[in-house]
Amino acid sequence: MNSSSAGPSSKPRAGSSQPSDSSFKRKRGVFQKDLQHMMYGFGDDANTSWTALLSAGFLSKQSSHPLPETVALLEDIVVEYVTDLVHKAQETASKRGKLLTEDFLFLMRKDLPKLNRCTELLSMNEELKQARKAFDVDEEKLATME
């Protein structure tokens, strides 16, 4: 038996934009702290049945924070989703050779809540940039007056 063949699941599919497992290693735990706080926030409602959360595995009896296994699983799901989204956006942008924000908006066009949230965040980001720019100009004027 040939020991070099590990089976069809270990090989990247032909035509797939997914890199093989050996081409990169993901740093684990990058988002775990943030996800843990988010999960705690979503479960920290006075109307939430704590026993239901305990039985579902979201909370341990020792603390009111989510189980580390649950957070790690959610992180894997989030990272896989974002990675797939970036790969699809790169495929969309490959004709131009440049990845733009509009490529991500194009991919989210059928999911209206996500699209609306993204456009809202982009407009807020633009407002913040303009406010910082105005603040920097005011500081420069004050410095020249003194």
Q: For residue 85, is it within any domain? A: yes
Assess whether 39 and 72 both reside in one domain. Answer: yes
Q: For residue 23, is it within any domain? A: no
Q: Does residue 1 have a pLDDT over 50?
A: no
* pLDDT confidence band for 3 (50 / 70 / 90): very low
Assess whether 32 and 93 both reside in one domain. Answer: yes
Assess whether 74 and 121 both reside in one domain. Answer: no
Domain residues for the domain of 36 are 28-99
- Structural domain count of the chain: 2
d(CA 101, CA 51): 43
Assess whether 45 and 75 both reside in one domain. Answer: yes
Q: For residue 84, is it within any domain? A: yes
pLDDT greater at residue 33 or residue 46 = 33
Assess whether 70 and 94 both reside in one domain. Answer: yes
3-state DSSP percent of the chain in helix, strand and coil, to 5: 60, 0, 40
Q: Contact at 8 Å (CB) between 58 and 70?
A: yes
pLDDT greater at residue 46 or residue 123 = 123
pTM above 0.85, yes or no: no
Q: For residue 127, is it within any domain? A: yes
Query: Tell me, what DSSP letter sits at residue 57?
Result: T
d(CA 101, CA 80): 19
Q: Which residue is associated with the tokens 């479960």?
A: 43
Q: For residue 116, is it within any domain? A: yes
Assess whether 32 and 85 both reside in one domain. Answer: yes
Q: For residue 2, is it within any domain? A: no
* pLDDT confidence band for 38 (50 / 70 / 90): confident
Contacts of 115 (CB under 8 A, 6+ apart): 105, 108, 109
**In the predicted model, what is the mean pLDDT of residues 116-144?**
87
- Mean predicted lDDT score pLDDT of the chain: 76
Report CA torsion sign: 18, 24, 27, 28: positive
Assess whether 90 and 40 both reside in one domain. Answer: yes
d(CA 26, CA 18): 14
d(CA 10, CA 110): 32
- pLDDT tens digits for range 49-98: 555 656 666 655 555 677 888 888 999 999 999 999 999 999 999 988 89
Q: For residue 3, is it within any domain? A: no
Q: Which residue is associated with the tokens 């131009």?
A: 96
Assess whether 84 and 142 both reside in one domain. Answer: no
Three-class SS of residue 19? coil
Assess whether 92 and 34 both reside in one domain. Answer: yes
Q: Which of 120, 117, 91, 121 is nearest to 103 (CA)?
A: 91
